[in-house]
Amino acid sequence: MKLIIAIIHDEDAHNLIEKLNERQYGVTKLASTGGFLRSGNTTLLIGVDNDKVDEVIDIIKDVCKSRKELAPALAPMMGNTGVFVTYPVEVNVGGATIFVLDVDRLEKA
């Protein structure tokens, strides 16, 4: 058995959970925050049999596409005045970071 940990963008969470549930995969959803943009992420825990790992990863890749968005960036206005202005910067968001771990034992109580 394997444990798939998928860190995805919040906007993709609902659609991905729905797709996984349609295929009878159980999912545990955890709220998390990304370090780079400090934006909301969702971490999903999915337990699957070894032969189902590739199918689940394909579903994740299909739903969680990378895309570009504008995000505010701070820059000093002039010198050391302590005044900052924001201007938009294009960044990639979405996609997924996926970890696959071996599970030594599973118990449901």
Q: How many Cβ atoms are within 10 Å of 46's Cβ, its own excluded?
A: 24
| Number of domains the chain contains | 1
Query: For position 37, which CATH number holds?
Result: 3.30.70.120
Distances (CA, A) of 27 to 17, 44, 53: 7, 6, 14
Stretch 41-57: mean pLDDT, rounded?
96
Q: DSSP code of 24?
A: T
Q: For 52-97, write each residue's pLDDT tens digit.
A: 999 999 999 999 987 666 666 655 555 565 566 666 666 665 689 9
Per-chain mean pLDDT for the chain: 83
- 43 found inside a domain: yes
109 domain residue, yes or no: no
Range of the domain at 70: 2-102
The whole-model pTM stands at 0.75
Judge whether 108 lies within some domain.
no
Residue 50 located in a structural domain:
yes
Give the residue ranges of DSSP H helices in the chain: 10-22, 53-63
The structure tokens listed for 15 are: 């659609």
Query: Is the confidence at residue 49, as pLDDT, over 60?
Result: yes
Six-digit token string for 94: 């979405």
Of the candidate ranges 4-13, 52-61, 93-102, the one whose mean pLDDT is the lowest: 93-102
**pLDDT (0 to 100) of residue 28:** 96
